[in-house]
């Protein structure tokens, strides 16, 4: 009977030790699981941030390249605008006009749009820059009298304001 009691105590001690070990292992498993979940979340956030930075860098490079090309487009458009009437049927002159149209199509595919600054359009300081102002005109509304230089919007954001002459109506 003494052996049974000692054996019983030994078994109880062993069970308590086993329970304690199980508890410690369960706590460690929970801690490791939490660490793993946190690491996964951190990695997912890192991946999203890197994707965003990559997109920002791509957009910045695209905008920089476009801004460098805009003066070339301006010069081509000026040359077409000053083309003498007798050269309008010339193949070379038509090629230059075709070049301007191709550039416009390429810009459309890049989501680059020309700002509407046609005469009679309402002046919008977010899109237009008033270079000249008709002081003698009278009226309540500022409207564009003439577009002096084209402005452009890339992905909905102005990258170069249209330079205009403003009058009142």
- 9, two tokens: 């105590």
Q: Which domains does the chain have, with CATH numbers?
A: 112-169 (2.30.22.10)
Mean pLDDT by 10 residues, the chain (169 residues): 68 84 94 96 96 92 92 92 89 90 92 94 94 81 92 94 92
Q: DSSP alpha helices (H): ranges in the chain?
A: 2-81, 91-109
Instruction: Say if residues 148 and 166 touch (Cβ distance below 8 Å).
Output: no
pTM of the model: 0.67
What is the distance between the terminal CA atoms of the chain, rounded to a whole angstrom?
115
Look at residue 154 in the predicted model and tell me its pLDDT: 93
Look at residue 3 in the predicted model and tell me its pLDDT: 62
């Amino acid at each position: 009977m003494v052996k049974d009691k000692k054996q019983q105590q030994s078994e109880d001690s062993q069970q308590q030790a086993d329970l304690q070990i199980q508890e410690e292992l369960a706590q460690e498993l929970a801690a490791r699981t939490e660490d793993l979940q946190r690491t996964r979340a951190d990695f997912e956030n890192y991946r999203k941030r890197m994707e965003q930075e990559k997109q920002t860098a791509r957009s910045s490079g695209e905008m920089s390249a476009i801004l460098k090309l805009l003066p070339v487009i301006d010069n081509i458009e000026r040359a077409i605008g000053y083309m003498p009437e007798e050269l309008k049927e010339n193949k070379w002159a038509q090629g230059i006009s075709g070049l301007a149209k191709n550039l416009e199509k390429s810009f459309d595919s890049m989501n680059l749009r020309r700002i509407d600054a046609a005469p009679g359009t309402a002046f919008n300081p977010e899109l237009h820059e008033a270079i000249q102002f008709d002081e003698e005109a009278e009226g309540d509304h500022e409207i564009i009298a003439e577009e002096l230089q084209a402005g452009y919007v890339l992905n909905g954001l102005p990258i170069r304001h249209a330079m205009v002459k403003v009058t009142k109506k």
